[in-house]
Chain A
Amino acid sequence: MIPYSAEVFFAILAEYNSSIWPAQAVALLLGVTAVFLVARFPARAGRPVAALLAGAWGWTGLVYFLAEFSEIDFWAYGFGAAFVLQGLGFVWAGLIRRRLRFGSEPNQTVWSGAGLVALGLLGYPLLVAALGRDLLETGAFGVAPGPTVIFTLGVLLAARPAAPLYLFAVPLIWCVIAGGVAIQLGIHEELTVAAAGVAAIIVLMVSRARR
């Protein structure tokens, strides 16, 4: 039960993107920096990456959902709270407990994670551009849910030792929601988010079965 149309979703997304620019560019730069840190200094990357994810989820919860989309969508209050909670999860697990760590010898799971990270940072907006839509009408990593969720699932899969399972909960639930939105409103790029969720579950299950 989505209380708005695709036309309205894209109009509001375009207004949101215009109003927060250049936050998208800053988030992209920070995302690329996080990838560089994990690749170059894996032993020291855990806390900065957790801080980045905490900020990305917090921003998306507070600004995207609560400040922007709550005007047209009563679900946005719940989504916003869940995203803020996930951000706090990264503060707890990554900054306080130091449970988000990375290794220097990547295996297949890590490479799968890297693929999702690339999809969240660059693949998602490029796909939208390929669909012929204005980039103002798409979400960007760190400031909108879709690419932030894909990027996060990639980071969690790339973590060594394995990231706490509770950090997967909200991102995977969002993948289900995104799939529903994609089908009901015909927003095809959101199917990427649902597909990323399915891929993450498969990789996670294979990875745990191998242990």
Chain B
Amino acid sequence: MDRRAFLIASAAAGFGLGTSVLPASALALLGEVSREIPSTGQRLPVIGMGSWITFNVGRSEKLRRARCKVLEEFFVRGGGLIDSSPMYGSSEEVIGWCLERQGGSHLMLTATKVWTVSKSGGISQMETSQKLWGERPLDLIQIHNLVDWEVHLETLKAWKADRRLEYLGITTSHGRRHDDMAAIMAAEPLDFVQFTYNIADREAEKRLLPMAADRGQAVIINRPFQGGRLIDRLSRHPLPEWAAEIKCENWAQVLLKFVVSHPAVTCAIPATSQVEHMRQNMAAGYDPLPDRSMLQRMIAHVESL
């Protein structure tokens, strides 16, 4: 057990609680960084969990149990938002399977997407998602890649009014459709927006991130590692000395701290199927975050490689 895990476990014991229900205030004392969701004021740890590919393991019980360990590590380290989609094969079902066996945490915010066409198709898909995730109502439903967004947005607004969900949002990835995203962000009452942002793909800094901050929309960042390509590329180079100044022990933490240091970012959702990688990812959600000059050094260094 490393120092942070020891401190978390000790603090949990002090509260007379299991680690997965450690209060947010205690995690904050340990240095966990969280951000406010503008529409409600609820605080969310800056490192969440994506599930693209990693939790799509089908019916294999052996692989499902392995993913439960990853999820357990996520909660122990103070994880909050879990993001999935019907597009991700069996991911929603596997997450629900794990949650049924180990419970969640009070920090948990469940987020899925609607990824189909037509009003009835969307409703049917969202009801299926709800069953797959378990008994607790889904917190956030996003319109995946803006598919049939006008139709689904009306449904989501109605569901939110009926208190069937807490938040609604829209997503895109790979830097696509930023014009459409911006137009919808400007016109609609969105709680969350999700798009791609990382040290090598900073297009979102120009318009989407400032706009989300202005409009009071929480921001989820997908592909912080460019689907793993950034890690593969950077891992061929030694970690720079300045990484120690922001308590980074590996490139994954450098990349995540870069993303979540942007003040408009609410959380990033790296995906992993490895407990060790989850541990590394979660450590990036603790102080210190890079300041403006450090961010410039990070960008310059990565661009020089």
- Which size bracket describes the interface of B in this complex? 10 to 19
| B57-A11 in contact (CB<8A) | yes
Q: Mark A10-23, 1 if CB is under 8 A from B, else 0.
A: 01100100000000
Contacts of B58 in A (CB 8 A): 4, 8, 11-12, 15, 71-72
| Complex interface residues of chain B between 87 and 146 (CB less than 8 A to chain A) | 87-90
Closest beta carbon of chain B to A131's beta carbon, Å: 22
Closest beta carbon of chain B to A70's beta carbon, Å: 9
| A4-B89 in contact (CB<8A) | yes
| A5-B53 in contact (CB<8A) | yes
Q: How far is the CA of A72 from the CA of B58 in the complex (A)?
A: 6
CB < 8 Å neighbour of A74 from B57, B63, B89, B273? B89
- Give the 10 A-B CB pairs with smallest separation, nearest first: A72-B89, A11-B60, A72-B58, A4-B56, A12-B58, A72-B56, A8-B57, A3-B89, A71-B58, A71-B90
| A73 on the B face (CB < 8 A) | yes
A-B contact pairs, 24 of them (CB 8 A): A3-B52, A3-B53, A3-B56, A3-B87, A3-B88, A3-B89, A4-B57, A4-B89, A5-B54, A7-B273, A8-B56, A8-B58, A8-B63, A11-B57, A11-B58, A12-B58, A12-B59, A12-B60, A15-B58, A71-B59, A72-B57, A73-B89, A74-B87, A74-B89
Residue of B nearest to A74 (CB): B87
Q: Mark B53-76, 1 if CB is under 8 A from A, else 0.
A: 110111110110000000000000
Besides the contacts A5-B54, A8-B63, what 11 more A-B pairs have beta carbons closer than 8 Å? A2-B53, A3-B56, A3-B88, A4-B56, A5-B53, A8-B56, A11-B62, A12-B58, A15-B58, A71-B59, A72-B57
| Complex interface residues of chain B between 27 and 66 (CB less than 8 A to chain A) | 52-54, 56-60, 62-63
Contacts of B53 in A (CB 8 A): 2-5
Residue of B nearest to A68 (CB): B58
Chain A interfacial residues counted at CB < 8 A: 13
Closest beta carbon of chain B to A147's beta carbon, Å: 22
Residue of B nearest to A16 (CB): B58
Q: How far is the CA of A2 from the CA of B228 in the complex (A)?
A: 14
| A11-B89 in contact (CB<8A) | no
Closest beta carbon of chain B to A50's beta carbon, Å: 34
| A5-B273 in contact (CB<8A) | yes
Contacts of A3 in B (CB 8 A): 52-53, 56, 87-89
Q: How far is the CA of A38 from the CA of B87 in the complex (A)?
A: 45
Contacts of A15 in B (CB 8 A): 58-60
Contacts of A73 in B (CB 8 A): 89
Closest beta carbon of chain A to B165's beta carbon, Å: 24
Closest beta carbon of chain A to B162's beta carbon, Å: 29
Closest beta carbon of chain B to A73's beta carbon, Å: 6
Closest beta carbon of chain B to A75's beta carbon, Å: 10
Closest beta carbon of chain B to A2's beta carbon, Å: 8
Residue of B nearest to A11 (CB): B60
Contacts of B57 in A (CB 8 A): 4, 8, 11, 72
